[in-house]
Amino acid sequence: MEIKKKLLNKWASILLDHSLRGVVPGDIVMVKGEAAAWPLISVLQEKILKAGAMADIFLVPPDNERGKAWGATAARLLPAARFKGLPPWQKSRHEAFTKYIEILGMDFPGLTRNACGPAARRIDRLNNELVKIRIRKPWALTMFPTRAFAEIEGLKFSSYSEALVKGSIQEPGIMRKKARGLARLLEKTKRLRVVTRDVRSGRRYELRASLENSLILNDTETGFNNIPCGEVFTSPDSSSVEGEIFLDMPISMQGEVIQGVYLKFIAGSVVSFRAAKGIRKLAYIINFDRGSKRLGEVAFGINPKLSVPLMHPLFCEKLSGTMHFALGNCIPAGLVRHPASAKGAARFRSLVKSGVANISVQHTDLVVSFRKGGAGQAVFLDGRPLGLRNGNWKC
């Protein structure tokens, strides 16, 4: 399915103007993605060059999920000891750009499966150094339709493309009133309580977390990152998380599906877990490091226009009437104002030391639906119920 140039132009404008706060002469914008995403990469390149900036086009090999320092083939064939440090040219390339756009979507996700051994773990740790460089700058993620991802979703390519593009070209301002209303409620909240149930056994679970130190963010405001938009989010006090939760919505990661996830937290850390699908992938994520056993984000999906609940977390986490919980790294701006400033960085370090802020190589979103038939049963903000109206959060 060929995407019309008019739609690609609108998509690119949202990425550049909303997510990156605009592009100006002197900017160097890295645009990264597989060759399948070339139609969008090409339009982005044109707009960047016409704005007087420079485009650094990074085409990702098909065996390298998200363009890491090395791909899955290297992770399978080489011992972990061979990966002593980042290649200096990769670090220099990341230090040089001023803004960053990553376009997800893979032609051959099977090439990256089962790369979960010590070498893959070492690559992820080293690649995190590149992630730290780029998240200090304006950045954005979006996703381009591929036939392989359509197959994972169980959809015809035309239907998948239509749903993905429709979600990606929505004007963020359409959801701003809803986002601000929900953010105001959460800004007053100190204690969050979430009740879910196992959709098979009917067993109910309760999870509790403190938002006393949290700053509430919403991605409908200029300068927030991912497209499509549609979430109100923050980082909880990771040390405060207690209880159990069941997350029913399927999530696709590098071509693997995780679904039916149960997590039990004691003193902030996962002490037991299970999954109906994708248990090996989930175990890799949770056991990666100390921080991957703790929560780095809690969020509410508010986008009512995502007509098809796609499994990729970039989409399903934004679906109205859902919540998502990220295992792993926290969002510094969800705990500290101006985290890049000297004062903000010092404050963040103190929160890491106290256990409030969580640090990890991982950041993996798992989603629960509060819509009819979903595992979500109730949400309480300081004991006050937060319900749904017409399938979206009531505020």
pLDDT of residue 309: 84
Whether the CB-CB separation of 395 and 181 falls below 8 Å is answered with: yes
pLDDT value of position 173: 86
* Residues above pLDDT 90, as percent of the chain: 88
Angle at 236 between CA 235 and CA 240, to 5 degrees: 155
Q: What is the pLDDT of residues 42-75, one digit of tens each?
A: 999 999 999 999 999 999 999 998 999 999 999 9
Its domain, for residue 155, covers 5-168
Buried b (16+ CB within 10 A) or exposed e, 35-50: ebbebbbebbbebbee
Closest C-alpha among 89, 28, 103, 92 to residue 60: 103
How many independent structural domains does the chain possess? 2
Of 356, 149, 122, give the one whose Cα is nearest residue 256: 149
C-alpha span between 331 and 345 (Å, rounded): 13
pTM: 0.91
Q: What pLDDT is recorded for position 188?
A: 96
Do 257 and 386 share a structural domain?
Answer: yes
Same domain, 143 and 233: no
The answer for residues whose C-beta is within 8 angstroms of residue 309's C-beta and 6 or more apart is: 249, 315, 316, 319
Instruction: Provide the CATH number for the domain around residue 122.
Output: 3.40.1830.10
Angle, alpha carbons 322-327-331 (nearest 5°): 85
- Gap between the Cα atoms of 296 and 234, Å rounded: 8
User: Binning pLDDT at 50, 70 and 90, where does residue 199 land?
Assistant: confident
Residues 15 and 163 in one domain: yes
Question: Are 196 and 218 a contacting pair, CB within 8 Å?
Answer: no
Residues 149 and 219 in one domain: no
CA distances 208 to 228, 242, 350, Å, are 29, 5, 23
List phi, psi (to 5°) of 346: -65, -40
Domain termination residue (choose one: 128, 149, 168): 168
pLDDT bin (cut points 50, 70, 90) of residue 306 is confident
A 10 A CB-CB count for 388 gives 15
Residues 154 and 193 in one domain: no
Query: Does one domain contain both 357 and 248?
Result: yes
Determine the pLDDT at residue 221. Answer: 84
Domain boundary among the residues 168, 183, 214 is at: 168
Do 33 and 94 sit in the same domain of this protein? yes
DSSP code of residue 374: S
SS3 annotation, 160-222: HHHHHHHHHCCCHHHHHHHHHHHHHHHHCCCEEEEEEECCCCCCEEEEEEECCCCCCEECCCC
Instruction: Tell me, yes or no, whether 20 and 133 share the same domain.
Output: yes
Is 185 found in the same domain as 151? no
Cα 395 from Cα 388, distance rounded (Å): 9
Condensed to tens digits (0 to 9), the pLDDT of residues 10-36 reads 999 999 999 999 999 999 999 999 999
* Whether residue 61 sits in one domain with residue 160: yes
At 250 the pLDDT is 95
pLDDT tens column, 227-263? 999 999 999 999 999 999 999 999 998 778 999 999 9
Report the pLDDT averaged over residues 158-181: 93
Is the same domain home to 68 and 91?
yes
Amino acid at 390: N
Tell me which DSSP letter residue 15 carries. I
Residue 113 sits in the same domain as residue 177: no
Domain-ending residue, one of 111, 136, 168: 168
The two structure tokens encoding residue 17:
């103007």
